Structure 1
C-alpha cells in the first residue's frame, strides 16, 4: 500500500485537497471534506478546534506528520497546519495507510511511514 505522503500528493495532483484553516472550514461547511489531516506540531488550540468541529460534520480527523512534512507531501509552499481531503476514496486510502503505519504486529513501524525519515 502507498504511504500517507503518496496519498496526499496524489490527492493534491488530482485537485482534491483544501489547504489551510479557511479552505478547510469552507470544505466542511460545503460538505466536501472527506477527512481532515492536522499536523502534530499545530497549536494545541488548533488541534482542539478541529477535533471538535470535524466530527460535527461527520468527518474523521487524524493527527499526522508535522507541518514541514505536510508541505513536502503536498508540494505546497508554506507550512500548512490542516489539510482536508475532498475525495472519499482517497481519504479512505489515506486513513488506511496511516493506520498501517502506526505499527505492525511486532510493534515496528514501517520505514516508509516513519516521521524521522526525510
Structure 2
C-alpha cells in the first residue's frame, strides 16, 4: 500500500477524517471539510453529487483510489467518499495523490 493510503489511515487515527456519504455531506454543509476524496469506482451518481456539493461550497475534491483500498486503509468496508477536516493533512494528501496519479503506481 502506498503513502496515499497510509496517509488516509493516519487521518482516521488523528480524528480528521469523515468516512462515508452521510458524514461527508454533513461536513460539507457545515463547511468543516477541507478535501473530499471520491473513489474512482464510485457510482456516477455519487461522483456527480459530491462534485456538485464541493463546487457549491468551493471545497477541493479529487477522484482517486478505489473503494476497496480506501476502505481497508481506514478500517472499513468499501468506502466511496471520505472527507478530510484538517488543512495540513489535506495538503499532504493532495501531494501524495498527485504522485500516485502522475507515476501511475499503487
Corresponding residue of 2:49:
49
Query: How many residues of Structure 1 are paired with residues of Structure 2 in the alignment?
Result: 105
Q: Which consecutive residues of structure 2, in runs of 5 or more, have no partner in the other structure?
A: none
- Cα-Cα RMSD: 1.3
User: CA-to-partner distance for each residue in 1:56-97, whole Å, 9 max, x for gaps?
Assistant: 111111111111111111122x21110001111000100111
What TM-score do the two structures reach when normalised by structure 1? Answer: 0.83
Asked if 1:11 is matched to 2:11, the reply is yes
In structure 1, list runs of 5 or more residues that go unmatched.
none
Q: TM-score w.r.t. structure 2 length?
A: 0.92
d(CA) in 2 for partners of 1:40 and 1:20?
14
2:74 matched to which residue of 1?
A: 74
Alignment of 1:23-42 (within 5 A): 23-42=23-42
- Report matched runs for 1:86-105 at 5 Å: 86-103=85-102
Decide which structure has greater helix share: 2
- SS of the aligned residue for 1:92 comes to helix
2:58 aligned counterpart, secondary structure:
coil
SS in 2 for 1:84: strand
Q: Tell me, in whole angstroms, the C-alpha distance in 2 between the residues paired with 1:49 and 1:30.
A: 17
Alignment correspondent of 1:58: 58
Q: CA offsets per residue over residues 20-58 of structure 1, 9 Å max, x none?
A: 111001101111101001111110011111111112111
